[in-house]
Amino acid sequence: MKRITIAIIAMLPCFATAQSNWEKPAKQQEEEKPKKALFMKNEANTDPKYLANAVPMVDGKVVFTLDKDVPGKNAQQIYDIVYQVLERMTTGENQFKESQISLVNKAEHVIAARYREWLVFKNSFLSLDRTVFDYTIIANCSDGHLNLTLSRIFYSYEVDREGGGLETKAEEWITDEYALNKSKTKLSKYSGKFRRKTIDRKDEIFEIINNALDK
């Protein structure tokens, strides 16, 4: 399974189509161009949910994993359910037109999807603070089980702002090293809000998938 996942990640940047079992879904989604985000400082947060070890590292990379037993469902049934969820996500709120299911392997019951969306920190009448949020989801479906990862996270924050914005990957921004204070008792002033909202978004996605599989 690990070799399959590594192969998928390697193929995604170039959207390879030569593999015998891999194919692109025909449906591509579109969305209006989003507006420019505003800047807002992060407020301190001491909720343990966001503190030490809340952002897991695998081989030096940030990887969130949903490893779920799904009794009573075979690999094809799990694949179909997860595919529908991931496809619906491509047209959800705050999604860019680039969000899509990029590659599928029907024989191995594997789905690879790439998302580009707005991750909103605050939205009020007076201000809007958000970042462009890129990530990859890979789902490996087998009889009675789903292994799904959310990784390859990248942020583009206010890149059009005078003086320059921020473009960075999760490994250099939301890990314990960068997003927590030295004592790991609270989130840092700036990168902390990225960590908090990323965890919230991951939890939301995993909950949607869990609920779909539990029906």
pLDDT one-digit tens code per residue, 160-194: 887 779 999 999 999 999 999 999 999 998 999 99
Q: Which are the contacts of 188, defined by CB distance < 8 A and separation ≥ 6?
A: 42, 178, 179, 180, 181
Contact assessment for residue 180 and residue 167, using Cβ atoms and an 8 Å cutoff: no
Would the pLDDT of 8 be above 70? no
Over 60: is that where the pLDDT of 30 sits? Answer: no
Whether residue 127 is predicted with pLDDT greater than 80 in this model: the reply is yes
pLDDT score, position 160: 86
pLDDT digits (tens, 9 = 90+) for 87-119: 999 999 999 999 999 999 999 999 999 999 999
pLDDT of residue 51 exceeding 70, the answer is yes
Q: For the residues 14-30, what does the mean pLDDT come to?
A: 54
Q: pLDDT band at 41, cuts 50/70/90? A: very low
pTM: 0.81
What number is the average pLDDT over the span 7-14? Answer: 57
Res 26: pLDDT: 57
Give the rounded percent of residues in the chain with a pLDDT score beyond 70.
82
Q: Would you list the domain boundaries of the chain?
A: 2-12+39-214
In this prediction, residue 163 carries a pLDDT of 78
CB atoms under 10 Å from CB of 130, counted, come to 22
Average pLDDT of the segment spanning 28-35? 38
Sequence-distant (6+) residues with CB within 8 A of 205 are: 89, 137, 150
> What's the per-residue H, E or C state across 140-168?
EEECCEEEEEEEEEEEEECCCCCCCCEEE
Lookup result for tokens 């959310």: 150
CB 110 within 8 A of CB 139: yes
Q: Is 196 left (phi over 0), alpha (psi -120 to 50) or beta?
A: alpha
**Is residue 148 scored above 90 in pLDDT?**
yes
Residue 85: predicted pLDDT: 98
Class of domain 2-12+39-214: alpha beta
Please, what is the average pLDDT of the chain?
87
Which pairing describes strands 166-169 and 22-23: parallel, antiparallel, or unpaired? unpaired
Q: Please state the rounded mean pLDDT for residues 198-207.
A: 98
Please say whether the beta carbons of 141 and 109 come within 8 A: yes
